[in-house]
Amino acid sequence: MRITVLAGGIGAARFLRGLRAAVPDADVTVIGNTGDDITLHGLRICPDLDTVMYTLGGGIHEGQGWGREGETFAVQEELAAYGAGPDWMHLGDRDIATHLIRTRMLDAGYPLSAVTAALCERWKPGVELVPMSDDRVETHVVLEGRAVHFQEWWLAMRAAEPAQGFVSIGADTARPAPGVLDAIAGADVVLLPPSNPVVSIGAILAVPGIRDAVARTPAPVVGLSPIVGGAPVRGMADACLTAIGVETSAAGVGRHYGARAEGGLLDGWLVDTADAGTEVPGLPVLDVPLLMTSVQLTAAMATAALDLAARVR
Ligand code: GDP
Ligand code: CA
């Protein structure tokens, strides 16, 4: 079975671990969000790709959900001693090695997809991890009278200043990375995991051709809600949804993605049992436990998503 998953960071990575446990023999292609990418201290950092790679490769800091386990911060402390900012993105020593290799390979002319494949040779995530694009696309947040990089708004400002909108810089001319469109068109199932619908899934869909490929794939497309009981399970996705006028609820996100029968993306929508009774026009909605508190429970979520996919198309 070929499964293609559009993925952000922590939510997607945890889901993917459950999916791998549920169907260990499936061919899984992960189309990773690179809208969160940023250059700091001369290093190219791809937080969502790394979160997926470390989580599936067994190197993630389990408690945090991002960054490396057993991390130290000597380099960051030294940078601070020089007064070299910014300091709002935690860069661990182990993690910096990843960014050094990535930056060096990019500078040598390798596309990000090739760099990501090279990094995955070490981590062996058990999936094909492909960035959404080899072209640089960065999410910026529109605030009163200015715009800042998504990471500055998210990490330094904790999304406290209301966003007026998001701009995907570079998206208009970006092309999907090699293999992305084929992975969507040729899948047996396409899944939208519980990722941020705006700055993770939305950023991927903003690359020209990707939204269309999802809307037209012969494969069933099933999504899982990142919103449970009217709030994000973790993080500040509500601040992103509010900015684009979408209600922070399982129904709101389901309507935002929309039913394929009505010009949207989905053939089925999974919500948490806390949201039983959720209705989305044109879509079968199923409620199952959606809290990824263990790999076993997450595998059950993945199985429910695949079962729904098999039923809807
Ligand atoms: P990020 O890039 O690290 O922010 O990660 P993603 O975009 O992949 O996912 C973020 C979303 O995952 C947030 O909106 C959370 O609400 C959601 N999330 C995190 N843990 C869980 C969980 O256990 N269950 C569900 N349903 N959603 C979760
Ligand atoms: Ca992210």
Q: How far apart are CA 311 and CA 207, in angstroms?
A: 29
pLDDT exceeds 80 at position 313: no
> pLDDT tens digits, residue range 191-214?
999 999 999 999 999 999 999 999
Strand partners, 38: 45
Ligand 1 atom nearest 226 alpha carbon: 27
Tell me what percent of the chain is helix, strand and coil, each rounded to the nearest 5. 40, 20, 40
Interior angle at CA 294, CA 24 and CA 98, nearest 5: 70
Provide the domain limits for residue 285: 2-59+113-136+171-312
Amino acid at 118: A
Query: Within 10 Å of residue 288's Cβ, how many Cβ atoms?
Result: 18
How would DSSP label each residue in 199-216?
TTHHHHHTSTTHHHHHHH
Q: How far apart are CA 135 and CA 177, in angstroms?
A: 8
The number of folded domains in the chain is 1
Q: Which of 30, 139, 196, 238 to mutate to test the pocket of ligand 1 (most atoms within 8 A of CB)?
A: 196
> pLDDT tens digits, residue range 157-189?
999 999 999 999 999 999 999 999 999 999 999
Residue 280 lies in a domain: yes
Residue 156 lies in a domain: no
pLDDT band at residue 256, thresholds of 50, 70 and 90?
very high
The domain spanning residue 275 has which CATH number? 3.40.50.10680
Residue 158 lies in a domain: no
Residue 242 lies in a domain: yes
Counting residues of the chain whose pLDDT is more than 70, the rounded percentage is 100
Does the C-beta of 290 come closer than 6 Å to ligand 1?
A: yes
Does the C-beta of 239 come closer than 6 Å to ligand 1?
A: no
Ligand 1 atom nearest 66 alpha carbon: 3
Strand partners, 31: 6, 130
Residue 105 lies in a domain: no
| The model's pTM | 0.98
Query: Within 10 Å of residue 178's Cβ, how many Cβ atoms?
Result: 13
Residue 281 lies in a domain: yes
Residue 7 lies in a domain: yes
CA 311–ligand 2 middle distance (angstroms) = 31
